[in-house]
Amino acid sequence: MPHPLPTASARPSDPHAHLPLGIFRGMSRRRLAVGTVLLSMALVVIHDLPASATTVAHETEPVVEGQQLVLTDATLAESAAKVPVATERDDFTLSYYTPIQWPLDPGTPISSYFGNRAAPCAGCSSYHHGIDYTPGYGTPVHAIAGGVVVSRAISGLGTFVVIQHQVDGQTVYSVYGHLVSGSAVPVGATVSRGDVIGKVGNTGQTSGTHLHLAIMVGDYNFIDPLPWMRKHVTEAFTG
């Protein structure tokens, strides 16, 4: 009969068969050796990780005594105000909104339009630089927009008013001619849209009572007032 192979169980009293440490109790030498290799490999992997991966959070984010961030609508608004914001813009021209209205009731009859015409009177222009309205003598005339009354030499208009405006970034003048003598607002006055700047009369070279309305875009550059007004009027007429 062959001699039986010695086993751990066969020699339980052998002090070298198992290590005395509790957690390794029951592990054979071979399994312990394999476990040690695996542990070593794990340690190498951990060693190769970036430092931050094994760093505890509170070491990188120290809490400073006495500082506290309280987020409210007010603090958010304050911080937003302190941060310079780069404004993105499309390619557009900045323009200012200028309220404009008709100088008379827009239903007022027109007796003469802009452009070439037969001179209606001796000394009247054959090229008409404005349009003529016939609302009746003494009818109040309103500023088409806010502006300043300025002095411009224009012949034949009798008592007249020129108001300088800024419209769409341009200097525009509105001209009101043949007003009742003494009814015109003085040069230098600041007027608001709709202010009465004079009364319809027949001073100057006229064939009768009417308001001569002219528009200049830039000094003495008379344009047809009617299409310009139709394009720019934004407010209802209030007489």
Sign of the CA dihedral running 135, 141, 144, 148: positive
Binding span for Zn ion by CB under 5 A among 16-24, 128-136, 152-160, 179-187: 128-136
Taking the CA atoms of residue 101, residue 107, residue 111 and residue 112 in that order, the dihedral angle to the nearest 10 degrees is: 40
- The reply to whether 232 sits near Zn ion by the rule CB under 5 A is no
Binding span for Zn ion by CB under 5 A among 35-43, 82-90, 161-169, 211-219: 211-219
**CA-to-CA distance for 199 and 95, rounded, in angstroms?**
33
**CA-to-CA distance for 161 and 178, rounded, in angstroms?**
9
Burial environment of residue 198 by CB neighbours within 10 A (0 to 12, 13 to 18, 19 or more): buried
Q: How far is the CB of 93 from Zn ion (least distance, A)?
A: 33
Closest CB to Zn ion among residues 80, 153: 153
Binding mask 63-102 for Zn ion (x = CB under 5 A): ----------------------------------------
Q: How far is the CB of 104 from Zn ion (least distance, A)?
A: 14
Q: How far is the CB of 134 from Zn ion (least distance, A)?
A: 11
**CA-to-CA distance for 149 and 230, rounded, in angstroms?**
23
Q: How many residues at the interface with Zn ion, by CB under 5 A?
A: 3
**CA-to-CA distance for 237 and 192, rounded, in angstroms?**
14
**16-55 binders of Zn ion (CB under 5 A):** none
Binder among 142, 165, 212, 232 for Zn ion (CB under 5 A): 212
- The reply to whether 103 sits near Zn ion by the rule CB under 5 A is no
Q: How far is the CB of 88 from Zn ion (least distance, A)?
A: 49
Q: How far is the CB of 235 from Zn ion (least distance, A)?
A: 24
- The reply to whether 178 sits near Zn ion by the rule CB under 5 A is no
**CA-to-CA distance for 96 and 174, rounded, in angstroms?**
18
Binding span for Zn ion by CB under 5 A among 6-14, 69-77, 147-155, 212-220: 212-220
3 state SS of 227:
helix
Cβ 161 vs Cβ 175: under 8 Å: yes
Binder among 100, 132, 175, 193 for Zn ion (CB under 5 A): 132
CA–chain centroid gap for 93, Å, is 11
Cβ 131 vs Cβ 176: under 8 Å: no
Closest CB to Zn ion among residues 172, 214: 214
| Site of interaction with Zn ion (CB under 5 A) | 130, 132, 212
